[in-house]
Structure 1
Amino acid sequence: MGMAEKSLEGVLDLGIFTNKRVCIDEVLPQNADFLVIGLSSILGLSIFTFRETVDHYRKIANIQDKQLVVKSIYDGGYTESDIIDDVWSATNIYGYRTDGRFQVYRSSTCKKSDWYEYDIIVRVLPLSSGVSADVDGTILIFDRERKYAELRYKILRGKIVYSVR
């Protein structure tokens, strides 16, 4: 049973992110690179990463035929961007207080108490059943009052496909 091949914008009303502060909570062993790149490309958002080099994101974006504006701490000082990748490293290693609209917490570093700083939480979760040939993980999108969506995703070589759970 394969997933229906839908894009992120095909399964999610991206308007929910308008004028909102968003926390992307990557739960181990998942990797949220695909979601960071997808949101950046679809919404036209710039990325500043405290975790990777610019080339890391550009290689993935090229495979998926997406365009990105990305800067890295390894290329010089911090500049404010729409998506801040790795809030924990920014704060605890580099000493920056970041202010991007989308804040990415890597490797299960986000605590529930961090959620109160944001309007919307996006959790990138492993499958509760372990592994599957059809699905790589789940994306849960919610705020304090309701759940917006629960998506399943599969990462393929040149694209990511989604379905609504």
Structure 2
Amino acid sequence: MKKPQSIQGEYIPRNRTETPKKNPSETTPNTDSAVLNDMLGKLDGAQVQQIFTSVVSGLVDLGSNALDYGKERELTKRVYAQAEADIKKYASDVARTKEEEKTKRKEIKVNGDNNRNIHLQNMASEANSHVQVMDILRQVENGTISSQELVTLIHLVKSKGA
């Protein structure tokens, strides 16, 4: 079996309490106006024009990006407003449908109750008619009603039914 190779190089301790300090001149560029003037003075016309063109195109790109961002925000606002309007519309549709269903259920219940009452009245009328017919037939069998009176009674019953 091979031995692992030793690591070559400088050991860097990992002390978490102390962060390595950077030289302030390395982190912040020196942008004093004198330094900028000195740097710009060393450039020839083509280089200055190239820098100017780069800055202008960067500004144009920045403006274009800002306009695109604004358009996207407006589109997002419109979509959001439309979604809110749709939600409100659907909520009102649901509420309206719910009320319609309640009204229909009430109407169905009232119609059912009315139909039941009419049916009970018809049944009572039928039972009453049946009792009367049976009573008339008993009287015919007993001979208390003549056939002429029976014809008159039948005529009366038919005229009441019509």
Q: Which has the higher helix share?
A: 2
TM-score normalised per structure 1: 0.15
Q: Which has the higher strand share?
A: 1
TM-score normalised per structure 2: 0.15
Answer 1 or 2: higher relative contact order, Cα 8 Å, separation at least 6. 1
